[in-house]
Amino acid sequence: MKRSCLAARTARVAQRRLAVVMVVTALGAFSFVPPTSGVATSFTSAGSARSARTVVAPHSPVGKQLEWLLGISSLLPLSAKEESAHFDATFVNEEPVNKLNQAFDSLGSTGSTITLLSLSSVTSNSLKAVVKIGLIKYAVQLSVDTKGLIAGLFFSLAAPIPIPKVSSWSQVNTDLKNAAPDVSFLAAQLDAHGTCSDVHQVDGDTPRPLGSMFKLFILGALANAIKNHTVRWNQKLTLTDAIKVPGSGVVQDDPAGTVLSVEQTAIDMISVSDNTAADMLLQLVGRSAVEAQVRTWSAHADLDVPFLSAAEFFVLKWHDFPTLANHYLSLSATQRAAYLTTSVDTVSDAAISSSTTPRDVNSIEWFASPHDICHAFSGLSALETEQDLSPLNTILDTNNGGIALSATTWSRVWFKGGSEPGVLTLGYLARDNAGKTFVVVVMLENPSKPIASSTTLLGLGVVTGALNLLHRG
């Protein structure tokens, strides 16, 4: 079975029984948490909202499940038993509880209420609704089977995302200060030689956890392998069950034996932050090659040895925690590499549970500073101009990260970000129509609680404002 084009992947995703459009499409793509694919936040109680609203769920089988969904905050993360009590067997088979928790987590934010705003097309077994979670309005389609169990559930954005406007560097500083306890930020211009020249920064040399932004280093190693003719863009990779990784992405849903090109795998890794695709490419180029790439671009490369796979990250964070994690952290870099092989790589993804609580964000992660990420974007920009490496542009601009930049002003927007509970990163390279290239990197860290989706919107406002300030000079 071959799957070699983005259209095929998009069509397949659209056919899934559970479809969730994230707070920002890009954020769903870069979330790196079991969940994923979404910003790692959770709902809070909707009781106060339900008591105040004028719209109520109908007294019917589908209305009963809607009422349960509105009050789901106290139940997250769901257990497998809870999922089976509310979803039909086909749904449960296609969307196991880890992925379901991922979807729900991606929609909410700490401190948010879930408010039912309107209902339409109501029958005894299906309805359409509009709900508000935090600042975001979602359209919901819900249907149940003859037993009253949920058979279909679809969320999509019901209104444009309200991204805050930022118009000065002082406002950037204020918004960042309010965003998280630990923040690093960089707004820079790339000169003709690709050097990152600071325009504004906040702890720009301080390394922070990256979330899925680590995939830029894999992409760099892949590009150099193609440059050196050891890998080809059209080279075929075969998906196996063993390499499937939970969390964000779509490749994990393909059957074993599916054949993907290296280029399509790279598109998936960046555009939807596919964890399985990342591990396939890490396996292809080799851990040592990626570590060498980190050394080229980062002043903090020692923090990324050994360079974790996505699967290893999940096991250390969400299997037998904190036993495996504590032992891993007690070892030297050489010992850690051996431990990954003997004790971590042997754990099945079926043994991984989900959590929305930050875990070891300062110690088990991938790390770099905003300046390091600027060097990575600069390096990829230079590689993209070389023979046979033009696909890098498609790979990096397929998903623009949810920011609305005018096409009349900006000719190129590259994006990669990442998240896990307590971590949010946003990274952009943008080129204006005058040929000036800028990089903006936001890194937020909170080791005690998840980053709220409202903070994500604030971060996007900071990025958009920073790019406009850079453009105006």
Task: Indicate if 197 and 54 belong to the same structural domain.
Answer: no
Helix (H, G, I), strand (E, B) or coil at 25: helix
Task: Indicate if 127 and 205 belong to the same structural domain.
Answer: no
Question: In whole angstroms, what is the distance from residue 160 CA to residue 339 CA?
Answer: 47
**What does the DSSP 8-state code read for residue 135?**
T
Of 134, 157, 180, which residue is a domain's last? Answer: 157
**Confidence (pLDDT) at 112:** 62
What are the backbone dihedrals phi and psi of residue 196, each rounded to the nearest 5 degrees, phi first? -85, 110
**Confidence (pLDDT) at 284:** 98
Burial of 320 (0-12, 13-18, 19+ CB in 10 A): middle
Its domain, for residue 406, covers 169-472
Mean pLDDT of 323-345: 96
Of 157, 178, 211, which residue is a domain's last? Answer: 157
Residue, of 203 and 27, whose pLDDT is higher:
203
Question: In whole angstroms, what is the distance from residue 157 CA to residue 263 CA?
Answer: 30
320: left (phi over 0), alpha (psi -120 to 50) or beta: left
How does DSSP assign 354-365, residue by residue? Answer: ---S--STTTSS
**Confidence (pLDDT) at 306:** 98
Question: In whole angstroms, what is the distance from residue 53 CA to residue 73 CA?
Answer: 17
Question: Which pLDDT tens digit goes with each residue over 156-170?
Answer: 888 777 778 899 999
**Confidence (pLDDT) at 108:** 63
Question: In whole angstroms, what is the distance from residue 229 CA to residue 224 CA?
Answer: 9
> Is 164 a domain residue?
no
Number of domain units in the chain: 2
pLDDT class for 11, splitting at 50, 70, 90?
Answer: very low
Could you tell me which of 342, 317, 334, 349 has the C-alpha nearest to residue 240? 349
Residue, of 165 and 64, whose pLDDT is higher:
64
Mean pLDDT of 423-445: 97
> Is 162 a domain residue?
no
Mean pLDDT of 317-328: 94
Could you tell me which of 303, 304, 323 has the C-alpha nearest to residue 315? 323
Mean pLDDT of 196-224: 97
The answer to pTM > 0.85 is no
Task: Indicate if 217 and 246 belong to the same structural domain.
Answer: yes
- Of 97-111, 347-361, 401-415, which range is least confident? 97-111
* Average pLDDT in the chain: 86
Burial of 130 (0-12, 13-18, 19+ CB in 10 A): middle
Task: Indicate if 173 and 105 belong to the same structural domain.
Answer: no
Task: Indicate if 145 and 181 belong to the same structural domain.
Answer: no
> Is 429 a domain residue?
yes
Task: Indicate if 259 and 151 belong to the same structural domain.
Answer: no
Task: Indicate if 138 and 232 belong to the same structural domain.
Answer: no
**Confidence (pLDDT) at 158:** 85
- Of 198-202, 240-244, 299-303, 400-404, which range is least confident? 400-404
Question: What's the first-to-final CA gap in the chain, in angstroms?
Answer: 51
Residue found by looking up tokens 């995939």 in the block:
215
Residue 7 clears pLDDT 60, i.e. is over it: no
Task: Indicate if 136 and 215 belong to the same structural domain.
Answer: no
Which alpha helices (H) appear in 53-130, and where do they start and end?
Answer: 61-70, 80-86, 89-94, 97-107
**Confidence (pLDDT) at 100:** 82
Mean pLDDT of 246-262: 91
pLDDT class for 29, splitting at 50, 70, 90?
Answer: very low
Structure tokens at 310: 């996505």
Task: Indicate if 320 and 390 belong to the same structural domain.
Answer: yes
Question: Which pLDDT tens digit goes with each residue over 131-140?
Answer: 988 778 889 9
pLDDT class for 469, splitting at 50, 70, 90?
Answer: very high
Q: Count Cα atoms within 13 angstroms, Cβ side, for 59.
A: 0
Q: What are the E-state strand segments in 251-396? A: 259-261, 367-368
Q: What are the E-state strand segments in 309-436? A: 367-368, 410-420, 423-432
Task: Indicate if 129 and 199 belong to the same structural domain.
Answer: no
DSSP bridge pairs for 427: 416, 441
Q: Which amino acid is at 155?
A: F
- Spatial neighbors of 246 by CB under 8 A, at least 6 apart, are 34, 36, 98, 99, 102, 252, 275, 314, 349, 352
Helix (H, G, I), strand (E, B) or coil at 250: coil
Task: Indicate if 139 and 258 belong to the same structural domain.
Answer: no
Residue 394 clears pLDDT 80, i.e. is over it: yes
Residue 245 clears pLDDT 80, i.e. is over it: yes
Mean pLDDT of 38-56: 43
Helix (H, G, I), strand (E, B) or coil at 445: strand
**What does the DSSP 8-state code read for residue 450?**
P
> Is 1 a domain residue?
no
> Is 441 a domain residue?
yes
Could you tell me which of 232, 216, 221 has the C-alpha nearest to residue 264? 232
Q: What is the CATH number of the domain that holds 437?
A: 3.40.710.10
> Is 133 a domain residue?
yes
Residue found by looking up tokens 């589908």 in the block:
62
Q: What is the CATH number of the domain that holds 88?
A: 3.10.450.280
Task: Indicate if 417 and 292 belong to the same structural domain.
Answer: yes
Q: Is there a cis peptide before residue 370, judged by omega within 30 degrees of 0?
A: no
> Is 163 a domain residue?
no
